[in-house]
């Protein structure tokens, strides 16, 4: 049971008031969440300024993934790292943009923070929604030296996960393991205010999201699923489907949380050895935590993503998430093949 909190409560008050089954949020986690979300507010203000402060365009550098970095990828990464340095309970950070984990202070403390600092980089320069995705894990031994292995925990062990979308509104979605709550950035107070408690993803939907330009590379079960959606009311599904693809996972997942749907970035044959495009630790696990906490599902085709044992910090995974009925159908098509 989650304690109801009054709408428009500020995030600072929310983390103090939040209780699941009478248990409040530990003070160290409160501190981390407040520092992290405050930094996202700073980042939101930078994003809103865009070209006016010269932060659009390529940084001319590459990241650990071999991808070209945008200036905002670098700015977001630096801001987030700096923003949580004073957190006493934080032992280390792993970022999509950096190869090795960074200790915070001496690398001691209860929590580990992982993030994709700026998701949807291809949308930065065209003023389409982008975001920050984060995941918080418990450090296995708060008093031991920080290692990469500390971070390699299955998604189900996350103590918190969330994202911030920098869109028409700046919106924060957060789960502390007892439902998903939504906040909007209030321009007047400069704070996140609670706008919805207990978000639920509808079990059925008639909306799907996938990059259709990759259709010729998909595996047969994904092609079958999408073909049947496209056949509409005259096909086996006997209903018309709508398609949306924003190419920012934060914005696509926000739509799924808001009105249901299914989002897919599956494995494909372009690079058969690559399990998928999206990253397990920085994208799939935190989004999966939110989706499951809102009553949806997330799989790699066959297995629940939150049960996967990560092998490496930057590993990639095939992703299918959203409304239960559709994810179950995708699982069925994958297990039949």
| Angle, helix 249-259 to helix 285-293, in steps of 10 degrees | 10
Pick the closer one to Mg ion by CB: 119 or 181: 119
Q: What is the rounded CA–CA span in Å between residue 117 and residue 324?
A: 28
Question: Is residue 178 classed as helix, strand or coil in its secondary structure?
Answer: coil
Q: Which residue in this structure is represented by tokens 């949806």?
A: 296
The set of residues, in sequence order, having a beta carbon less than 8 Å from that of 51 and lying 6+ positions away, is none
> Are the beta carbons of 182 and 168 closer than 8 angstroms?
no
Residue in the shown chain whose Cβ atom is closest to ligand AHM = 249
- 224 makes contact, choosing from Mg ion, ligand AHM, none, with CB < 5 to 8 Å by partner type, with none
Q: How many residues bind Mg ion (CB under 5 A)?
A: 2
Give the pairing of strands 160-166 and 207-209: unpaired
191 binds Mg ion (CB under 5 A): no
211 binds ligand AHM (CB under 6 A): yes
Pick the closer one to Mg ion by CB: 64 or 302: 64
DSSP state of 222: H
What tokens were used for 333? 């098509």
- 211 makes contact, choosing from ligand AHM, Mg ion, none, with CB < 5 to 8 Å by partner type, with ligand AHM
120 binds ligand AHM (CB under 6 A): yes
The set of residues, in sequence order, having a beta carbon less than 8 Å from that of 303 and lying 6+ positions away, is none
In the complex, what is the shortest distance from the CB of residue 263 to ligand AHM, in angstroms, rounded to a whole number?
8
Residue selected from 31, 97, 110, 119 as contacting ligand AHM according to rule CB under 6 A:
119
Residues 66-105 that bind ligand AHM (CB under 6 A): 67
122 binds ligand AHM (CB under 6 A): yes
> Are the beta carbons of 51 and 71 closer than 8 angstroms?
no
> Are the beta carbons of 104 and 92 closer than 8 angstroms?
yes
Q: What is the rounded CA–CA span in Å between residue 7 and residue 9?
A: 5
116 binds ligand AHM (CB under 6 A): yes
In the complex, what is the shortest distance from the CB of residue 38 to Mg ion, in angstroms, rounded to a whole number?
22
Give the pairing of strands 191-196 and 181-186: antiparallel
129 binds ligand AHM (CB under 6 A): no
- 248 makes contact, choosing from ligand AHM, Mg ion, none, with CB < 5 to 8 Å by partner type, with ligand AHM
Pick the closer one to ligand AHM by CB: 68 or 82: 68
From residue 214 to residue 253, the character string flagging contacts with ligand AHM as x (rule: CB under 6 A) and all else as - is ---------------------------------xxx----
Residues 91-130 that bind Mg ion (CB under 5 A): 116, 119
Question: Is residue 224 classed as helix, strand or coil in its secondary structure?
Answer: helix
- 6 makes contact, choosing from ligand AHM, Mg ion, none, with CB < 5 to 8 Å by partner type, with none
The set of residues, in sequence order, having a beta carbon less than 8 Å from that of 273 and lying 6+ positions away, is none
- 240 makes contact, choosing from ligand AHM, Mg ion, none, with CB < 5 to 8 Å by partner type, with none
In the complex, what is the shortest distance from the CB of residue 277 to Mg ion, in angstroms, rounded to a whole number?
9
Which one, of 31, 145, 161, 8, lies nearest residue 83 by Cα?
A: 31
Query: By CB under 6 A, which span of 115-123, 179-187, 200-208, 297-305 interacts with ligand AHM?
Result: 115-123
252 binds Mg ion (CB under 5 A): no
From residue 252 to residue 281, the character string flagging contacts with ligand AHM as x (rule: CB under 6 A) and all else as - is -------------x-----------x----
Q: Which residue in this structure is represented by tokens 């501190």?
A: 31
Cα dihedral 132, 138, 141, 142 sign: positive
Interface ranges with Mg ion (CB under 5 A): 116, 119
List residues binding ligand AHM (CB under 6 A). Answer: 67, 116, 119-122, 211, 247-249, 265, 277
């Amino acid at each position: 049971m989650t304690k109801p909190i009054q709408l428009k409560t500020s995030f600072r008050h929310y983390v103090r008031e939040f209780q699941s089954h009478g248990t409040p949020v530990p003070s160290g986690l409160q501190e981390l969440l407040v520092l992290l979300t405050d930094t996202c507010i700073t980042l939101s203000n930078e994003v809103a300024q865009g070209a006016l402060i010269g932060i659009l365009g390529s940084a001319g550098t590459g990241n650990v993934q071999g991808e070209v970095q945008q200036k905002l990828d670098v700015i977001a990464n630096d801001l987030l790292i700096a923003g949580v340095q004073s957190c006493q309970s934080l032992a280390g950070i792993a970022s999509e943009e950096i190869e090795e984990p960074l200790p915070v202070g001496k690398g001691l403390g209860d929590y580990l923070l992982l993030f994709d600092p700026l998701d949807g980089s291809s949308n930065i320069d065209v003023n389409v929604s982008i975001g920050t995705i984060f995941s918080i894990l418990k450090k296995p031994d708060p008093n031991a030296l920080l290692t990469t292995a500390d971070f390699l925990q299955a998604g189900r062990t996350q103590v918190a996960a969330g994202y911030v979308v920098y869109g028409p509104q700046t919106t924060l979605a957060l789960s502390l393991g007892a439902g998903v709550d939504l906040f909007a950035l209030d321009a007047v107070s400069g704070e996140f205010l609670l706008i919805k408690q207990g978000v639920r993803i509808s079990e059925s939907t008639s909306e799907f999201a996938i990059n259709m330009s990759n259709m010729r590379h998909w595996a047969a079960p994904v092609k079958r699923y999408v073909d049947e959606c496209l056949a509409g009311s005259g096909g086996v599904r006997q209903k018309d489907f709508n398609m949306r693809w924003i190419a920012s996972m934060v914005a696509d997942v926000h739509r799924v949380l808001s009105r249901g749907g299914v989002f897919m970035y599956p494995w494909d044959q372009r690079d058969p050895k690559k399990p998928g495009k999206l990253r397990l630790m920085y994208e799939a696990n935190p989004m999966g935590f939110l989706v499951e906490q809102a009553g949806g599902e997330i799989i790699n085709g066959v297995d629940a993503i939150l049960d996967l044992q990560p092998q490496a910090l930057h590993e990639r995974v095939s992703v299918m998430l959203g409304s239960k009925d559709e994810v179950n159908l995708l699982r069925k098509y994958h297990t039949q093949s």
